[in-house]
């Protein structure tokens, strides 16, 4: 029994064999040289464009870095440097991985040909023999270039994103620094305004105190003026009443005779002596008016109390930086060797010698010197006196070592700077004892006085001070 299958072959015709697909050998060897040159040229173009874009990005980063260099901190500069280093490393990696990448592409384009043994052709009854060919896939260089370009675009986008992140971080840090600086400036401005407000309030209080004091002083002066006006009115009334009184009647001679009769001889002698003394005093006053009174020729300083007198309790506190001048001739020697050089101490100025002898003074080096004196009593100073050797008592007939310009300062204690009481000039052609009145006498009580000699009358080596006096009114305790 013979059957017929779907191919139309009958079993009676013999055994049936299905035809095997015939595979022929295809030329799937290595790609041609043109493909490799195209791939390499595409990579070269990509590398050139990448290098150009990296250079442009680098120039932009440098421009941004230079624009914000003044306000960037050290951390921002380090971050920029790290980003630049990362870009350089990426470029180097791409450059070194290019050969490996080309080799990988070439391997992908190669497909080994698979050979299968050919079977003898079997003729079928209904179909002619068919040959089946397997073709290897061909890679298009344009596709590779597009893929590489997409990859590079992706890298560039990441790089741009990193740059934008870095710029945003830099801007954030700049804004933070600006906020900190603004906060500091606001704090400084607030401190300045607070200090100004305090000073203004202090000045306002002082002005209010001054106004209160001036008002109280004005009220006191007004009361005194009213009191004086009342007293003046009262005195005027008394004078007017006295003028209106009748003159007294003359005493009769009998009473005078009675008084004369009642005087004893001793009383008459006493009265005569008293009248004689009064007449002599009047004659002396008259002679003094003509310039022959010895009491009137005395300097005014001798008629006032000296509160800088050592015997009264005053003392020398300090000479500041003034150095006492010492003579070159030795006073005491032993076997020709000098042991002691004589010199007058600053106490000589306040010892109050009645007669000024040449050399009996305190001499200091140069033309400027300072002497601080503790007064014997708290004093309201009104006058100061400076004594020097008279010109006619000087061996040379000159007093070049006499002080010329000097200043006097009043102090309540020996540690304060002192208040300037006056600047004076000693006249070398004037009297040996010259008294100077303070121009602005105040009610301030001082315990210390500082004498500052500023210049002398020409002596370069030293300056001499014979005596210094302080006059005024002693403060009531």
pLDDT tens-place string over residues 269-321: 777 777 777 777 776 666 555 554 555 578 899 999 999 999 999 999 999 89
Phi and psi torsions of 226, nearest 5°: -65, -40
Tell me the average pLDDT across 443-450. 94
Tell me the average pLDDT across 173-193. 93
pLDDT of residue 274: 79
Max mean pLDDT among 91-95, 256-260, 287-291 falls in 91-95
Least confident of 54-58, 146-150, 338-342: 338-342
Tell me the average pLDDT across 112-119. 45
Length of the chain: 477
Do 473 and 380 touch, CB atoms closer than 8 A?
yes
pLDDT of residue 331: 62
pLDDT of residue 308: 96
Confidence class of residue 259 from pLDDT cuts 50, 70 and 90? very low
pLDDT of residue 52: 82
Least confident of 24-28, 154-158, 231-235, 316-320: 24-28
For residue 239, give the 3-state DSSP assignment: helix
Q: Give me 327's structure tokens.
A: 């003579």
Which comes out higher in pLDDT, residue 201 or 242?
A: 201
pLDDT of residue 55: 81
Model confidence at 102: pLDDT above 80:
no
Q: Give me 158's structure tokens.
A: 């990441």
Least confident of 217-226, 382-391, 399-408: 217-226
Question: Rounded to an integer, what distance in angstroms lies between the CA atom of residue 48 and that of residue 50?
Answer: 5
Contacts of 123 (CB under 8 A, 6+ apart): 129
Return the H-helix or E-strand segment holding 146.
helix 141-244
For residue 219, give the 3-state DSSP assignment: helix
- 17-41 in b/e form (b: 16+ CB < 10 A) is eeeeeebeeeebeebeeebbebbee
* DSSP single-letter state for residue 449: E
Which comes out higher in pLDDT, residue 10 or 234?
A: 234
Question: Rounded to an integer, what distance in angstroms lies between the CA atom of residue 18 and that of residue 124?
Answer: 8
Model confidence at 25: pLDDT above 70:
no
Question: Rounded to an integer, what distance in angstroms lies between the CA atom of residue 308 and that of residue 317?
Answer: 12
The residues with which 436 forms a beta bridge, in sequence order, are: 384
For residue 2, give the 3-state DSSP assignment: coil
Tell me the average pLDDT across 399-417. 93
Mean pLDDT (the chain, rounded): 78
Which comes out higher in pLDDT, residue 429 or 343?
A: 429
Max mean pLDDT among 104-113, 235-244, 297-306, 335-344 falls in 297-306
pLDDT of residue 21: 46
Confidence class of residue 196 from pLDDT cuts 50, 70 and 90? very high
pLDDT of residue 11: 47
Return the H-helix or E-strand segment holding 437.
strand 433-437
Tell me the average pLDDT across 364-384. 95
Percentage of the residues of the chain whose pLDDT score is greater than 90? 35
pLDDT of residue 22: 43
Confidence class of residue 261 from pLDDT cuts 50, 70 and 90? low
Least confident of 43-47, 138-142, 285-289: 285-289
Q: Give me 266's structure tokens.
A: 């001793």
């Amino acid at each position: 029994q013979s059957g017929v299958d779907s191919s139309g072959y009958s079993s009676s015709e013999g055994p049936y064999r299905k035809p095997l697909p015939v595979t022929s050998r295809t030329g799937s060897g290595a790609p041609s040289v043109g493909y490799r040159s195209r791939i390499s040229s595409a990579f070269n173009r990509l590398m050139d464009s990448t290098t150009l874009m990296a250079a442009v990005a680098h120039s932009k980063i440098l421009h941004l870095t230079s624009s914000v260099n003044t306000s960037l901190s050290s951390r921002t500069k380090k971050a920029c440097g790290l980003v630049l280093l990362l870009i350089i490393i990426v470029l180097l990696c791409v450059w070194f991985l290019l050969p490996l990448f080309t080799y990988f592409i070439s391997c992908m384009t190669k497909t080994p040909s698979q050979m299968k043994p050919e079977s003898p052709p079997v003729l079928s009854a209904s179909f002619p023999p068919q040959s089946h060919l397997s073709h290897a896939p061909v890679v298009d260089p344009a596709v590779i270039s597009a893929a590489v370009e997409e990859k590079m675009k992706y890298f560039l986008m990441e790089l741009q994103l990193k740059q934008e992140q870095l710029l945003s971080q830099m801007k954030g840090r700049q804004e933070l620094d600006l906020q900190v600086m603004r906060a500091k400036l606001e704090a400084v401005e607030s401190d300045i305004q607070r200090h100004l407000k305090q000073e203004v309030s202090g000045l306002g209080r002082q002005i209010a105190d001054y106004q209160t004091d001036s008002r109280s002083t004005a009220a006191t002066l007004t009361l005194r003026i009213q009191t004086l006006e009342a007293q003046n009115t009262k005195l005027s009334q008394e004078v007017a009443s006295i003028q209106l009184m009748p003159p007294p009647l003359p005493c009769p001679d009998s009473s005078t005779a009675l008084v004369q009769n009642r005087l004893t001889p001793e009383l008459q002698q006493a009265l005569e002596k008293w009248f004689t003394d009064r007449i002599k005093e009047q004659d002396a006053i008259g002679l003094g008016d003509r310039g022959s009174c010895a009491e009137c020729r005395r300097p005014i300083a001798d008629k006032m109390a000296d509160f800088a007198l050592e015997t009264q309790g005053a003392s020398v506190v300090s000479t500041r930086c003034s150095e006492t001048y010492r003579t070159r001739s030795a006073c005491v020697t032993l076997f020709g060797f000098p042991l002691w050089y004589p010199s007058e101490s600053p106490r000589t100025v306040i010892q109050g010698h009645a007669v000024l002898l040449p050399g009996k003074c305190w001499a200091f080096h140069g033309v400027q010197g300072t002497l601080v004196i503790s007064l014997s009593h708290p004093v309201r100073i009104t006058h100061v006196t400076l004594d020097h050797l008279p010109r006619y008592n000087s061996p040379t007939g000159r007093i070049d070592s006499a002080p010329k310009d000097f200043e006097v300062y009043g102090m309540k204690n020996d540690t304060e700077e002192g208040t300037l009481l006056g600047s004076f000039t000693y006249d070398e052609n004037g009297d040996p004892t010259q008294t100077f009145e303070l121009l602005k006498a105040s009610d301030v009580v001082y315990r210390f006085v500082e004498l500052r000699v500023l210049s002398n009358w020409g002596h370069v080596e030293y300056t001499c001070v014979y005596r210094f006096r302080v006059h005024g009114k002693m403060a009531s305790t």
